[in-house]
């Protein structure tokens, strides 16, 4: 019975870790995109 509980715990940990990785990666990419300079904008384009 302990092996069954251990297997369930491993599956839950893997699912939660995968979800955290996905959310963290999305947040990192979003922050990096916001910090990156915008394409096509120059000092005289009026977009900034």
* pLDDT of amino acid 41: 64
pLDDT class of 20 with cuts at 50, 70, 90 = very high
Domain edges within the chain = 1-33
Q: How many CA atoms lie within 13 A of 1 on its CB side?
A: 0
> Looking at residue 3, what is its pLDDT?
83
What is the b/e burial string over 12-38, where b = at least 16 CB atoms within 10 angstroms of the residue's CB? eeeeeeeeeeeeeeeeeeeeeeeeeee
* pLDDT given at position 4: 86
Report the alpha-carbon distance of residue 48 to residue 38 in Å, rounded: 10
Question: Which tops the pLDDT comparison, 46 or 2?
Answer: 2
Between residues 9 and 40, the one the model is more confident about = 9
CA distance 2 to 13: 16
Question: Within the chain, what is the greatest distance between any pair of CA atoms?
Answer: 70
pTM exceeds 0.75, yes or no: no
Please state the rounded mean pLDDT for residues 17-45. Answer: 86
């Amino acid at each position: 019975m302990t092996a069954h509980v251990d297997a369930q715990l491993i599956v839950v940990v893997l699912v939660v870790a995968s979800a955290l990785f996905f959310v963290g990666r999305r947040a990192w990419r979003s922050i990096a995109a916001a910090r990156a300079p915008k394409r096509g904008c120059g000092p005289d384009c009026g977009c900034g």
